[in-house]
Amino acid sequence: MRQFTPVEINHLTKFGFDPELLSISVEESIPVEYISGKAEFRGRNFEVNRDVLIPRIETEDLVDIGLTSIINQESISFADIGCGSGAIGLSFALELKERDIKFRGVLSDISLKALEIAKKNIKSLFGETKNIEVIESDLFSNFKDEKFNIIFANLPYIPTSNINDLQDSVKNYEPHLALDGGEDGLNLIRKLLNSAKKFLTNDGVLLLEVDDTHIDPGEFETEWDIKKRNDTNGFNRFWICRVLVTLPDQE
């Protein structure tokens, strides 16, 4: 019989499920978000299923970092690479809208099934909108020549050898396509940093979520200025990346 925690009971009750009834029928470690089909992110409800990662509370800070990167701009273009449910990009777009800032956003993912969920969330949070485009793309492979003020990317970043140590609720239920970042967890982040420059405006910023083990961005610092930020639990979690401007050699 499944023992739900108080937080899980609150979640299930909020979305109309009876925790007592469920406790005798559901699997031991299935996340409650995959039972209700809902996840909360920055105070809003997002549809989720097992094709998308459940958006995490620590990721909420990425949206704040995006908002503080805007300086007196009346309109913003942004991309959310590896958007999953769309939690980052759609929260950012809604919070721009609340500030009367115009926007164009591109949400992309390599997973068509994830994009189906992102589209449902666009519909429920915005209705019909021409300001948000959804693209199936391996990183930037299907992007046109477009420059963004802000590019968010919470790509898979867990080193492959750590996947087995994850909690059952993560490793047995969440899509490994959303988790596994290759040998050192940086496979996709490395590719992204090698291709992102031409998609950023001159003052543009690339905002990455990384693993807590990714404390040394040194290999990228010949081309990028990278500031590190911890998450609310004090773990290394975000890289704020700007293209390094190199001045021609003084003669």
Ligand X SMILES: C[S@@+](CC[C@H](N)C(=O)[O-])C[C@H]1O[C@@H](n2cnc3c(N)ncnc32)[C@H](O)[C@@H]1O
Q: Rounded to whole angstroms, how far apart are CA atoms 6 and 11?
A: 9
The residue from 63, 88, 207, 241 that contacts ligand X (CB under 6 A) is: 88
Question: What tokens does 111 get?
Answer: 């997973």
Choose between 50 and 228: whose C-beta lies nearer to ligand X: 50
Stretch that binds ligand X, among 6-14, 22-30, 83-91, 212-220 (CB under 6 A): 83-91
Contacts 24+ apart (CB under 8 A), 184-188: 184/159, 185/156, 185/157, 185/158, 185/159, 185/160, 185/210, 185/211, 185/213, 185/214, 186/157, 186/210, 186/214, 188/82, 188/139, 188/155, 188/156, 188/157
| 156 touches ligand X (CB under 6 A) | yes
Positions of E strands within 71-218:
75-81, 102-109, 132-136, 148-153, 200-209
Chosen residue from 35, 83, 96, 122 binding ligand X by CB under 6 A: 83
> Which of 90, 117, 125, 139: binder of ligand X (CB under 6 A)?
139
Give the x/- contact pattern for ligand X in 51-70, rule: CB under 6 A: -xx-x---x-----------
> Closer to ligand X at the Cβ: 35 or 208?
208
Q: Does 87 bind ligand X (CB under 6 A)?
A: yes
Q: How far apart are the first and last CA of the chain?
A: 76
Q: How many CB atoms lie within 10 A of CB 201?
A: 12
Looking at residues 90 to 119 of the shown chain, list those that interact with ligand X (rule: CB under 6 A): 109-111, 114
Give the residue with the Cβ less far from ligand X, 2 or 50. Answer: 50
- Residues in contact with ligand X by CB under 6 A are 52-53, 55, 59, 81-85, 87-88, 109-111, 114, 138-139, 154-156, 177-178, 188
